[in-house]
Amino acid sequence: MTDDQLALFAETVFEHEPLPADWPATYWIITAWAPTGESWSAERNQTADAALEASLRAAGHRLLRMTGCSPDRRHREPGWAVALEQGAALRLGREFGQVALFLVRRSRLIVVDCTGGREHPLDRGLDPDRIRGGHPEAGGLRPWRRTRSRQLIRPAAARAIRESRSGAHRWIRPVRAGRIRT
């Protein structure tokens, strides 16, 4: 994968329905549309997509439609979100002529080169407004927020900090599980 191709992958935004509550925290986004920057007819793209879907369904995988788009939404490539092992995902990507695939690991977006399996983490998540809620380590970005000290808190606590005029709630200390010392 060239630096120019990586830059294009890094700009990709995704459109999708909200993820089911039981969706895995780690999954791949795979497309079969016009690989390696080629230009295909709509019919050829749809045929390739149907073949990819059939292959995934025949293997018994659970699928969710995700469409990768350019930032201006003029270019769209429908694909599939699916939980696979890395080797299987990369083989599938190579089978369908893809340069790279997207890996979503705990809501973080990673571009993975199909030929060598090299990971290129992006400095953003999939799309924080569309990812299911929950703790980031469990696969979601919302409803949690980070304070300036990078501590995870719920929105109600964040509002209390912002709305507090007296400063009484300015510092939030994490609650630790365990026995109480006397």
The residue among 116, 136, 156 that closes a domain is 136
Q: Taking the model in full, what pTM does it have?
A: 0.67
The total number of structural domains in the chain stands at 2
Give the mean pLDDT per block of 10 residues along the chain (182 residues): 84 85 92 78 90 94 90 87 94 92 90 91 64 39 48 49 47 47 47
- Say whether both 72 and 116 belong to one domain: yes
Residues 109 and 172 in one domain: no
Other C-beta atoms lying within 10 Å of the C-beta of residue 139: 21
Question: What CA dihedral angle connects 28, 33, 37 and 41, to 10 degrees?
Answer: -170
Full domain range(s) for residue 104: 3-136
Q: Are residues 115 and 166 in the same domain?
A: no
Q: Are residues 178 and 123 in the same domain?
A: no
Two tokens, residue 90: 């990369």
